[in-house]
Amino acid sequence: MSSTPNPINVRFPFELKGVPHEVVQAHRYAFQGLVDLNQAVAAISTQIRAFKPQTPVAGGSVATSTSITVNGNAFSGLGAIRDQTGSVTYTTVGSDNGILLILNDASPVAVTLDSAMATPYFLFSTNFGVGSATFTPSSGTINGTASFTLPQNYTSMLVFDGTNWHASALLVLPHSAGPTSHQWLASYDSATELFTLSQPDFTDITGQITTSQLPASGLTVTITTAALTTLGTQGSMTFTNGILTAQTPAT
C-alpha cells in the first residue's frame, strides 16, 4: 500500500448526483477510514522493522534492536524422563533441566544435586521405591537444611536459585485402612500417616432401641446374679429365645 497521503485509489468523488445525502456521508466516512489506515501503516513501518530479529549470537540467544534476549537453551530437558530404576546413587546434570527423574529401589537412594548449574534450573522427581530417596546439594542448602527426603510414592519439584535449592512441600498421603469386623476408625496420626481402629463402647451409641431392632426369637443369654451374703454363692438365670429355661438361686 502506498505511503503517500490521500492516495488516488482511495479518494472519494467530491459530488455524487442523485444520491441521498446520508448515503454520500456514509461512503465518505468509509473511504476516509481507508485513508487513515494507509497513513498509519506508513507511520509505524519504521518501528515494525526495528523489531525484526537479527543474527543469532553465541549460546543460542537471539538479540533484537530493543535488547530483548531469548535463551534458547533454558529447560533443555522439559518433558523428558530420566528413569533411574534400580540405581541407588545419582548426580544431576545440566540436561536434567526440566525433566522428571524417576527413582525406584528397595534400598535407600542418594541423589546429589549439582549446584554448579546456570539458572533457571529445576527438575521433578518421583520415588516409586520402598527405599526413601535423599537429595543432598553439592553446595548450599535445600529448604534451609543439608538434605531433603522423598518417601515412596511422593513427587516433588526441586528448584535451584543459583546458590541454594528449594523443594516443594510434600502432601500427606494417608495409608489405606481396610474394613475390620466390629471396629471403626478411631484416630489418624499425621506423622505416621496411619489410622487406628477400635471397637466402639456401648456409651458411643446414642438413642433408644426399638422393638423392631430386637431379635424376632428373643435373646439367648445367661445372667449371673450376685451372692446374697459374704459366704454365699452366685446365682444365674438362663434365657433361651427370650424364655427363662434355667435358674440357680443365689445364696
Domains and CATH numbers, the chain: 1-73 (no CATH), 81-167 (2.60.120), 176-204 (no CATH), 207-248 (no CATH)
Q: What's the grid cell of residue 27?
A: 461512503
Cα torsion 153, 154, 157, 162 to 10°: value is -100
CB neighbour list of residue 183: distance below 8 Å, 6 or more residues apart: 197, 198, 199
Q: What's the grid cell of residue 194?
A: 496411619
Higher pLDDT, 77 or 121: 121
Place of cell 546456570: 118
Higher pLDDT, 63 or 199: 199
> Residue 101 CB: number of other CB atoms within 10 A?
25
CB 136 within 8 A of CB 110: yes
Residues 125 and 229: their CA atoms lie apart, in Å, by 75
pLDDT at 61 over 50: no
Which pLDDT does position 213 carry in this prediction?
73
Which pLDDT does position 136 carry in this prediction?
98
Query: Mean pLDDT over residues 190-207, rounded?
Result: 76
Which pLDDT does position 122 carry in this prediction?
94
- Evaluated on CA atoms 149, 152, 154, 156, the torsion sign reads positive
* Mean pLDDT of the chain, nearest integer: 78
Single-letter residue type at 143 = N
Choice among 35-44, 98-107, 219-228 with the minimum mean pLDDT: 35-44
Choice among 55-59, 117-121, 149-153, 165-169 with the minimum mean pLDDT: 55-59
- pLDDT tier at 69, thresholds 50, 70, 90: very low
Q: What are phi and psi of 112, to 5 degrees?
A: -100, 125
